[in-house]
Chain A
Amino acid sequence: MAAPPHRPLLILLAGLLVVASLATLAEAIYEDQVGLADWHQKYIGKVKQAVYHSQKSGRRRVVVLTEENVISSLDLRSGDIFWRHVIDKNDPLDQLSLSLGKYVLTLSSGGTILRAWNLPDGQMIWETNLQTSTASNPQLHVMSNNKVAKDNLVLVSAGRWIYAVSSIDGSISWEKEFSLDGIEIKQVLQSPENGIVYAVGIAGSSKLALYHLSAKTGEVLKDIQESFPGELSGEIVLGSDNVLVALNKARSSLFLIEFTSGRISYNKVHVSDLVQDLSGTFKLQSLSNGVIALQTPSTVSLLKLKNTDGLEVVQRFDQPAALSDALTIAEKDEAFAIVQHMGSQIEFVVKFTSDASSAMIREKVNIDQHRGNVEKVFLNSYIRTDKSHGFRALVVMEDHSLLLIQQGEVVWSREDGLASIVDVTTSELPVEKDGVSVADVEHNLFEWLKGHMLKLKGTLMLANADEVAAIQALRLKSSEKNKMTRDHNGFRKLLIVLTKAGKVIALHTGDGRIIWSNLLPSLRASRFGVMPSALRIYQWQVPHHSVMRENPSVLVVGKSGAESSAPGVFSILDSYSGEELNAMRLDHSVVQIIPLTLKDLSEQRLHLIVDSNSNAHLYPKSPDALDVFLHEMPNLYFYSVDILTNVIRGYSLQKSCNIEGDEYCFSTKELWSIIFPSDSERIAISETRKMNEVVHTQAKTIGDHDVMYKYLSKNLVFVATVSPKAAGDIGSALPEEALLVAYLIDAVTGRVLHRVTHHGAQGPVHAVLSENWVVYHYFNLRAHRFEMAVIEIYDQSRADNKDVMKLILGKHNLSAPITSYARPEVVVKSQSYFFTHSVKAMAVTQTAKGITSKQLLIGTISDQVLALDKRYLDPRRSANPTQQEKEEGIIPLTDSLPIIPQSFVTHSHQVEALRGIVSIPAKLESTTLVFTYGVDLFYTQLAPSRTYDSLTDEFSYALLLITIAVLVAAIIVTWIWSEKKELRDKWR
């Protein structure tokens, strides 16, 4: 009668699973649970423009514009965000200004959209569309103390157009198109005379035109044109009130142009006469009052105008330095700031334009080493209590962080590099050693004692306010979810992110705090203006057995330039400390990175890098890695998707390589290719399974006790193509000309396993492939709704295994390996459903063993993440499921997928400009960790089938104890009764 001991457990687990999944399909949290297991961080990105609000009283704020296309109002005291708007990438922000002290004006989309935002709360007040020709550099000029019209006019110049827009309601008060051939307006200036506006434009390449316009009507009052010898580069700045400084195309000389006297007169100055050994590109910056700055990547020279006669060099800085714009301060004087690097410090210098050679303030500020050079400075002044002027400045660093410096100190800093995450990986935390806590606080005996004294004081109610705060901080640090050690459930990990600036940052999953950060020297811009780009981050070494004592490490791969043939850059970092262990410049380019499942003796993961010559390079370059690799090489295949030429190619590896003496280099052999006809199909997307995905069962039991075998090939690739006409946005194609074709391809043989055509469908396509199914999202033009389709693929060749006799007699082929060489007999089931929203990103939950049912994580257009049960996307759903199917858990068919608000994993948060969703399995099978990034970061824990393997925090222990107590009491009472009754019976 004794059953195998594991059977009841399995049944129990299955029963629990069924109960848990039947209980509810939506998994939601209560409002008071927000922040327990999740965190949300808001960022803005690298600041490119900043405008201070010059309000004398009230909250001091600064409005910034960033490279992530965010406009935001920040608190100058703390750096907190008052409000923020993330503008779409298709609508790039160009200019920012303040008007009337209460409106924030932004000019975007090449000078075609002007918006006004309310400064206190960020509400959009008005939006005006301007019709302009394609403009390279639109300008925004807010007229000051304009007496002509009642309200302030805003002048927008873009290309050949000038618009005057009322800043009250956004109505266009006048517009002017200049008819001169090829003219582009470069500067709009307010004349000292009332009611006159100067517009300076360059026509063709050598003609300068100056217009005097009436500020009231836009009528041209005067029109002066002058041709210049040689060509102008188009770079033109205002030197002083009446002098323009223009750069010629050869970038060798400057023209000093006087323009107010009714005619244009100019003087030519050679740059080389002023500044020697000027290499590379340089740019001009006006500081007004006759001071201009000449900036190269490594030097800054300050030049002063001597009327129009010439220029003289005032000062030269040979360190990389950043220069602020001129700031008008009370006494009609103007100040500007220069910030330059001095070892571990930065030097903050404020000068007056009237006396540029001497410094008004010279402060040295200590700064974190991992922030790189200063890139931008925005100066602001304030009145001290003794009526003198104080200065503070916002400093943008190379790692995109934003600092406020004041009185020689960093007042606050924002780690805004996190707004531009390129790639994410994870690392385990150190194992907790017996007896000794690894937590930082308790490293030092004294600190440890102090901590315990504090806690003792706290319990005895002797602590003062500061000490209470310290205890709170200690508690937070050592509280269960924020510990710096590995936990039993695998919830505590390090999220290691790579940002666009080339900075690697490790975040703790407990509360999202930064554990370490490192701006990689190999990914920093060099002095020659080569801009390296960060590509990917991988786990490099995950120590297990023999090398347990070593720290894990991560690999960062980058490129030392924008073009595809630029040589690659490697950097290996310690996951616990962020120290760079090894950095190398590769002598080949990086086109494709293939992390292999193989490891060498020191448990370093093998990676193949394919270069632009189609050679594959093996890393790490160690003999035992080579041994391991050579053993597996005949079984290694890879494929590449070339979207430009519309081809998918499959390759195998060969020993020889053209490079002599490099045994780690392998040549590749093209095995197959699929060429899509360019006139009818364009590759929209290709997806493959996640390498680390674990599948628990190979078979699926369906209602009538039949078994279907999943086609589980790691080489399955999903490719979707769209017809060229439908490659654009929605609304650009008619249903008749739109076509979407979905392919399932075996990446080893190039065999197309399945092909399905959706007529009248178009992109954008988002897809996710997991186990034996793929789910993809596209737009159905006929129904004019979004759709999600599912394809499940089953292996028919193993279907005859369900014969029990064969199984007993051992004639089954269950143990036969899945091979791509054999032609598989596959059966495909598919279905499609309507889905309400546009999708920005899609992912699927990953769990440690793959037992837990899957949920799709859908990043919607509203920057939320929806968890949708995979069971809704079951191709076997039918309108009237049979009793057996109902028991199996098949949901009756509906034409659209439900959107249950409680299943938004981001609940009431939005992950602005959502770009990616990553699901990381925890050690606990029921739970997966979800990290979502965009401009914001969001992290949460998710249990797709509820936490069936652990008690929730909600579990009522009191109730359990009461129940036990009641049961025990009842047993005792019954026992006593029973005893008495027995006694009575015996007496009878």
Chain B
Amino acid sequence: MAASFAPHGHLLLLLLLVAVVLACLGTAAAAGSGEGYTIAGRIKIDGANAKGFGLPAKTSNTKVILNGGQRVTFARPDGYFAFHNVPAGTHLIEVSSIGYFFSPVRVDISARNPGYIQAALTETRRVLNELVLEPLKEEQYYEVREPFSVMSLLKSPMGLMVGFMVLMVFVMPKMMENIDPEEMKQAQEQMRNNPVSFSSLLARAQG
């Protein structure tokens, strides 16, 4: 895997050069499968099995897809992959690996400067110096069950109901005490005029 770097434009981006293994072979081929380039790269999944949720980070499940399914290859145990005989142009590489989110990669193969290959992540527009593809994030497919807590119990509608009830029973009398005695007297007088009590309410409901 020969790789060298060359500056490009004033962005001073480093380009990835991938060995053009098959250029001479390609011209020799009778069927004219043409001058093709090789896109070679590596998939790097860190912390294999580290935070796994029953999903071991195995490269055997990792597929590398060129141009939305035109060609599909698999990663080797060391993560390396290659597409051979790719014509010059702008291509898209996607990585499918369960449990990980990979950004698709835009790969430009220059026709004018044979062999200069430029790669950039399409999601973050980050330019890659080497075609080393790392997952942007791990994908957690399941909701995490929250541990039992008193707060979650209280937050539930039933908890709120009980809470309000308790509040009414214990806090309301206290609040009543704080009310201005004169107002209280007024209110009591009103009450006396048309006596409504909780017990009579209940009794009425029964009756």
Residues in chain B near residue A30, CB distance under 8 A? 142-145
Q: Does A901 contact B (CB under 8 A)?
A: yes
Q: Does A133 contact B (CB under 8 A)?
A: yes
Q: Across the interface, do B90 and A131 meet the contact criterion of CB distance under 8 Å?
A: no
Q: Across the interface, do B198 and A974 meet the contact criterion of CB distance under 8 Å?
A: yes
Q: How far is the CA of A907 from the CA of B53 in the complex (A)?
A: 12
Q: How far is the CA of A307 from the CA of B104 in the complex (A)?
A: 62
Q: Does B75 contact A (CB under 8 A)?
A: yes
Q: How far is the CA of A131 from the CA of B27 in the complex (A)?
A: 10
* Number of residues on chain A facing chain B (CB within 8 A): 68
Shortest distance from the beta carbon of A636 to any chain B beta carbon, whole Å: 39
Residues in chain B near residue A160, CB distance under 8 A? 30
Name which of B42-50, B154-162, B179-187 contacts chain A: B154-162
Closest 8 A-B residue pairs measured CB to CB? A862-B96, A901-B139, A963-B158, A88-B72, A129-B84, A978-B198, A730-B67, A838-B68
Q: Across the interface, do B60 and A122 meet the contact criterion of CB distance under 8 Å?
A: yes
Q: Across the interface, do A904 and B141 meet the contact criterion of CB distance under 8 Å?
A: yes
Q: Does B128 contact A (CB under 8 A)?
A: no
Q: How far is the CA of A87 from the CA of B69 in the complex (A)?
A: 11
Interface bits A112-132 vs B (CB < 8 Å: 1, else 0): 000100000111111101011
Q: How far is the CA of A901 from the CA of B142 in the complex (A)?
A: 8
Residues in chain B near residue A31, CB distance under 8 A? 53-54, 142, 145
Residues in chain A near residue B143, CB distance under 8 A? 28-30, 902
Interface bits B137-149 vs A (CB < 8 Å: 1, else 0): 0011111110000
Q: What residue of chain A has the Cβ atom nearest to residue B68's Cβ?
A: A838
Q: What residue of chain B has the Cβ atom nearest to residue A779's Cβ?
A: B68
Interface bits A877-907 vs B (CB < 8 Å: 1, else 0): 0000000000000000000100101101001
Q: Does A960 contact B (CB under 8 A)?
A: yes
Q: How far is the CA of A781 from the CA of B92 in the complex (A)?
A: 10
Q: Does B87 contact A (CB under 8 A)?
A: yes
Q: What residue of chain A has the Cβ atom nearest to residue B103's Cβ?
A: A836
Q: Across the interface, do A908 and B60 meet the contact criterion of CB distance under 8 Å?
A: no
Q: Does A277 contact B (CB under 8 A)?
A: no
Q: Does A83 contact B (CB under 8 A)?
A: yes
Q: Does B169 contact A (CB under 8 A)?
A: yes
Some 15 contacts from A to B, beta carbons below 8 A apart, are A88-B69, A115-B74, A131-B29, A131-B33, A731-B70, A731-B92, A863-B96, A896-B123, A899-B101, A904-B141, A963-B162, A967-B162, A970-B165, A975-B202, A978-B199
Q: Across the interface, do A83 and B60 meet the contact criterion of CB distance under 8 Å?
A: yes
| Max chain A C-beta neighbours (<10 A), residue from B28, B69, B91 | B69
Shortest distance from the beta carbon of B147 to any chain A beta carbon, whole Å: 13
Residues in chain B near residue A133, CB distance under 8 A? 29-31
Q: Across the interface, do B74 and A127 meet the contact criterion of CB distance under 8 Å?
A: yes
Take A784-B92, A963-B161 as given contacts and tell me if A729 and B67 are in contact as well, using a CB distance cutoff of 8 Å.
Answer: yes
Q: How far is the CA of A768 from the CA of B33 in the complex (A)?
A: 37
Chain B contact patch, size range = 35 or more
Residues in chain B near residue A34, CB distance under 8 A? 142
Q: Across the interface, do B142 and A730 meet the contact criterion of CB distance under 8 Å?
A: no
Q: Does A596 contact B (CB under 8 A)?
A: no
Interface bits B21-36 vs A (CB < 8 Å: 1, else 0): 0100110111101000
CB-CB contacts below 8 Å: A474-520 with B: none
Q: What residue of chain A has the Cβ atom nearest to residue B105's Cβ?
A: A784
Q: Does B110 contact A (CB under 8 A)?
A: no
Interface bits A850-875 vs B (CB < 8 Å: 1, else 0): 00000000000111100000000000
Q: Across the interface, do B142 and A967 meet the contact criterion of CB distance under 8 Å?
A: no
Q: Does A457 contact B (CB under 8 A)?
A: no
Q: How far is the CA of A730 from the CA of B53 in the complex (A)?
A: 35
Q: Across the interface, do A975 and B199 meet the contact criterion of CB distance under 8 Å?
A: yes
Given contacts A731-B70, A838-B65, 14 further A-B contacts (CB under 8 A): A28-B142, A32-B145, A83-B60, A90-B70, A91-B72, A125-B76, A730-B68, A784-B122, A908-B98, A908-B142, A963-B158, A967-B165, A975-B202, A982-B197
Interface bits B109-145 vs A (CB < 8 Å: 1, else 0): 0000000000000110000000000000001111111
Residues in chain A near residue B13, CB distance under 8 A? none
Residues in chain B near residue A838, CB distance under 8 A? 65, 68-69, 94
Q: Across the interface, do A861 and B69 meet the contact criterion of CB distance under 8 Å?
A: yes
Residues in chain A near residue B86, CB distance under 8 A? 731
Picked from B70, B73, B141, B144, the residue with its CB within 8 Å of the CB of A730 is: B70
Q: Across the interface, do B89 and A907 meet the contact criterion of CB distance under 8 Å?
A: no
Residues in chain B near residue A124, CB distance under 8 A? 60, 74-77
Q: What residue of chain B has the Cβ atom nearest to residue A123's Cβ?
A: B60
Q: Does B99 contact A (CB under 8 A)?
A: yes
Picked from A32, A115, A729, A974, the residue with its CB within 8 Å of the CB of B70 is: A729
Q: How far is the CA of A90 from the CA of B73 in the complex (A)?
A: 11
Q: Does A166 contact B (CB under 8 A)?
A: no
Residues in chain B near residue A974, CB distance under 8 A? 169, 198
Q: How far is the CA of A907 from the CA of B139 in the complex (A)?
A: 10
Residues in chain B near residue A330, CB distance under 8 A? none
Picked from A134, A734, A959, the residue with its CB within 8 Å of the CB of B156 is: A959
Residues in chain A near residue B67, CB distance under 8 A? 729-731
Q: Across the interface, do A959 and B141 meet the contact criterion of CB distance under 8 Å?
A: no
Shortest distance from the beta carbon of B66 to any chain A beta carbon, whole Å: 8
Q: Does A910 contact B (CB under 8 A)?
A: yes
Q: Across the interface, do A134 and B31 meet the contact criterion of CB distance under 8 Å?
A: yes
Q: How far is the CA of A960 from the CA of B161 in the complex (A)?
A: 11
Residues in chain B near residue A123, CB distance under 8 A? 58-60, 76-77
Q: Across the interface, do B199 and A982 meet the contact criterion of CB distance under 8 Å?
A: yes
Q: Across the interface, do B69 and A29 meet the contact criterion of CB distance under 8 Å?
A: no
Q: Across the interface, do B75 and A785 meet the contact criterion of CB distance under 8 Å?
A: no
CB-CB contacts below 8 Å: A744-788 with B: 764, 779, 781, 783-786
Q: What residue of chain B has the Cβ atom nearest to residue A784's Cβ?
A: B106
Q: How far is the CA of A556 from the CA of B156 in the complex (A)?
A: 52
Q: Does A837 contact B (CB under 8 A)?
A: yes
Q: Across the interface, do A131 and B25 meet the contact criterion of CB distance under 8 Å?
A: yes
Q: Does B153 contact A (CB under 8 A)?
A: yes
Residues in chain B near residue A956, CB distance under 8 A? 156
Q: How far is the CA of A724 from the CA of B29 in the complex (A)?
A: 28
Q: Does B82 contact A (CB under 8 A)?
A: yes
Q: Does A979 contact B (CB under 8 A)?
A: yes
Q: Across the interface, do B69 and A90 meet the contact criterion of CB distance under 8 Å?
A: yes
Q: Does B55 contact A (CB under 8 A)?
A: yes
Q: Across the interface, do A731 and B91 meet the contact criterion of CB distance under 8 Å?
A: yes
Residues in chain B near residue A902, CB distance under 8 A? 140-143
Q: Across the interface, do B87 and A731 meet the contact criterion of CB distance under 8 Å?
A: yes
Take A28-B143, A908-B55 as given contacts and tell me if A129 and B85 are in contact as well, using a CB distance cutoff of 8 Å.
Answer: yes
Shortest distance from the beta carbon of A635 to any chain B beta carbon, whole Å: 42
Picked from B76, B89, B106, B169, the residue with its CB within 8 Å of the CB of A732 is: B89
Residues in chain A near residue B98, CB distance under 8 A? 862, 864, 908, 910
Q: Does A85 contact B (CB under 8 A)?
A: yes
Residues in chain A near residue B97, CB distance under 8 A? 862
Q: Does A221 contact B (CB under 8 A)?
A: no
Residues in chain A near residue B33, CB distance under 8 A? 131
Q: How far is the CA of A764 from the CA of B76 in the complex (A)?
A: 29
Interface bits B1-30 vs A (CB < 8 Å: 1, else 0): 000000000000000000000100110111
Q: How far is the CA of A126 from the CA of B81 in the complex (A)?
A: 9
Residues in chain A near residue B66, CB distance under 8 A? 731
Take A122-B60, A975-B202 as given contacts and tell me if A959 and B69 are in contact as well, using a CB distance cutoff of 8 Å.
Answer: no
Residues in chain B near residue A975, CB distance under 8 A? 198-199, 202
Q: How far is the CA of A91 from the CA of B69 in the complex (A)?
A: 10
Take A779-B68, A959-B156 as given contacts and tell me if A901 and B199 are in contact as well, using a CB distance cutoff of 8 Å.
Answer: no
Q: Across the interface, do B75 and A908 meet the contact criterion of CB distance under 8 Å?
A: no
CB-CB contacts below 8 Å: A15-48 with B: 28-32, 34
Shortest distance from the beta carbon of A778 to any chain B beta carbon, whole Å: 11
Q: How far is the CA of A127 from the CA of B202 in the complex (A)?
A: 84
Shortest distance from the beta carbon of A397 to any chain B beta carbon, whole Å: 30
Q: Across the interface, do A784 and B158 meet the contact criterion of CB distance under 8 Å?
A: no
Shortest distance from the beta carbon of B207 to any chain A beta carbon, whole Å: 15
CB-CB contacts below 8 Å: A337-356 with B: none
Q: Does A180 contact B (CB under 8 A)?
A: no
| Max chain B C-beta neighbours (<10 A), residue from A28, A901, A967, A978 | A901
Q: Across the interface, do A901 and B158 meet the contact criterion of CB distance under 8 Å?
A: no
Residues in chain B near residue A87, CB distance under 8 A? 72
